[in-house]
A and B are shown apart, each in its own frame.
Chain A
Amino acid sequence: MDTDVLVRDYLGRLEAAAAALPLARRTELAAEVRDHIDAALAEAGRSDEVTVRNVLERLGSPEEIVAAEAGQAGTPDGAAPASGGGVAGTGSRWGAVEVTALVLVGLAWPALFLPFGLFLWLGLGVVGLVLVWVSAVWSRRRKLITTGTVVAAYVLLVLLITPVRVDCMTGDPPQPCPPGGPVPTIYSGP
């Protein structure tokens, strides 16, 4: 086995993992790691396959090294990701948009007790959903799930509280429907 291949392969993986780092730092990091490998092999006094593998294993995976570069992930002091590093973690803190969106889609139901409550409530819900999609914090997947859930819940609720007068079509004998078809009436309490 040609041990140069092992080293080249490792450095190639490092380069790929570091693709998002600024060019100057990427080049420097590659040189540092290469020098490290050379120094370790020089110290060992041989470069057979076992020695090379051992040296690379002690280095840690290229991905691990780059992760440490990209913001010292997981360090207890919570050092911020390097600005301009390009591998900055996604912020997960909720801002005004997220909180408002959540309140509108989840907690606007008391609006149902106001005049035109159903429309008010649906309107607020739609605004909430728009905010959900405006959010820069939530992922697309999360937005889709939220939208699906909210729309399903709304449809269900509207069906529950909106008995539709359909006897004009299904009555026996069928009655002629008033102009404009079946008219939904909103159930407004006992």
Chain B
Amino acid sequence: MVAGETRDPLTELRRGVLEHCVLAVMRTKESYAYEIVRVLSDAGGLVTSEGTIYPLLSRLRRDGLVETTWRESESGPPRRYYRLTNEGGRALDAFARDWTRFRDAVDAVLAA
């Protein structure tokens, strides 16, 4: 619990969309956790506390939105690769539609 922490709107927004951004990264290609974190960080700081991606991935596995395979890597220990399940794909599609509407609504209000 992070009660008492100042409520930065960007932090809240980031937290709200992170799950679906993670799903979106896996849609393009099967990825391992560190790779997902890198993509999201490079995309303009979508992840700030990188370690919190692991609880998130664990929940996505539990909820059946992603499935994983262990593969050997050329360097270091075997890696767990993540890809979307059909259910994960549907969740991502639904979010993408909601997000477009949400973004347009906020844009419209800000431009008014």
- Decide whether A and B are members of one complex: yes
List chain A positions with a Cβ less than 8 A from chain B: 25, 28-29, 32-33, 35-36, 38-40, 42, 58-62, 64-69, 72-77, 79, 82, 89
Chain B interface, >50% SS class: helix
Q: Distance in Å from the Cβ of A83 to the closest Cβ of chain B?
A: 10
Alpha-carbon distance between A177 and B7 when the two chains are bound, in angstroms: 68
B29 to chain A, nearest CB (A): 18
Instruction: Tell me the bound Cα distance from A76 to B56 in angstroms.
Output: 14
Q: Are A29 and B75 in contact (CB under 8 A)?
A: no
Asked whether, in the complex, the Cβ of A39 is within 8 Å of the Cβ of B1, the reply is no
A-side contacts of B77, CB under 8 Å: 35, 38
* Residues of the B chain whose Cβ atoms lie less than 8 Å from the Cβ of A65: 49, 51-52, 54-55
A74–B1 CB distance below 8 A:
yes
Given the interface pairs A32-B33, A58-B50, A65-B51, the reply to whether A73 lies near B76 with Cβ below 8 Å is no
Question: How far apart are the CA atoms of A67 and B2 in the complex, in Å?
Answer: 8
Given contacts A35-B77, A42-B75, A76-B15, are A25 and B58 in contact (CB under 8 A)?
yes
Q: CA–CA, A61 to B52, complex, Å?
A: 9
Other-chain residue from B59, B75, B76 in contact with A79 (beta carbon distance below 8 A): B59
Binary CB contact string for chain B from 11 to 34 against chain A (1 if under 8 A, 0 otherwise):
010011000000000000000011
Minimum CB–CB distance for B7 against chain A, Å: 9
- Determine if A64 and B76 form an interchain contact, defined as CB atoms under 8 angstroms apart: no
> Is residue B86 contacting chain A, with contact meaning CB distance below 8 A?
no
**What 9 additional pairs, Cβ within 8 angstroms, besides A35-B79, A59-B49, A66-B55?**
A29-B58, A36-B54, A39-B76, A60-B50, A62-B51, A64-B49, A67-B2, A68-B52, A69-B54
| Cα-based distance from A61 to B48 in the complex (angstroms) | 11
A-B interface pairs (CB < 8 A), number: 74
Interface residues of B in 57-107 (CB under 8 A from A): 58-59, 62, 75-77, 79
CB-CB under 8 A from A76, the residues of chain B are 12, 15-16
**Cα-based distance from A73 to B52 in the complex (angstroms):** 11
CA of A33 to CA of B49, assembled, Å: 12
Cα A115 to Cα B1 in complex, Å, equals 52
- Cβ contact within 8 Å between B51 and A60: yes
Question: Can you list 14 pairs linking A and B with CB atoms under 8 Å apart?
Answer: A29-B58, A32-B33, A32-B54, A33-B51, A36-B34, A36-B51, A40-B34, A42-B75, A64-B2, A66-B55, A67-B1, A72-B59, A75-B16, A89-B1
Contacts of B2 in A (CB 8 A): 64, 67, 73-74
Contacts of B48 in A (CB 8 A): 60
Task: With A33-B51, A60-B50, A68-B56 as known contacts, state yes or no: A73 contacts B1, CB within 8 Å.
Answer: yes
In whole angstroms, what is the CA distance A25 to B61 when docked?
12
Q: In the complex the two chains form, what is the Cα distance from A130 to B77 in whole Å?
A: 59
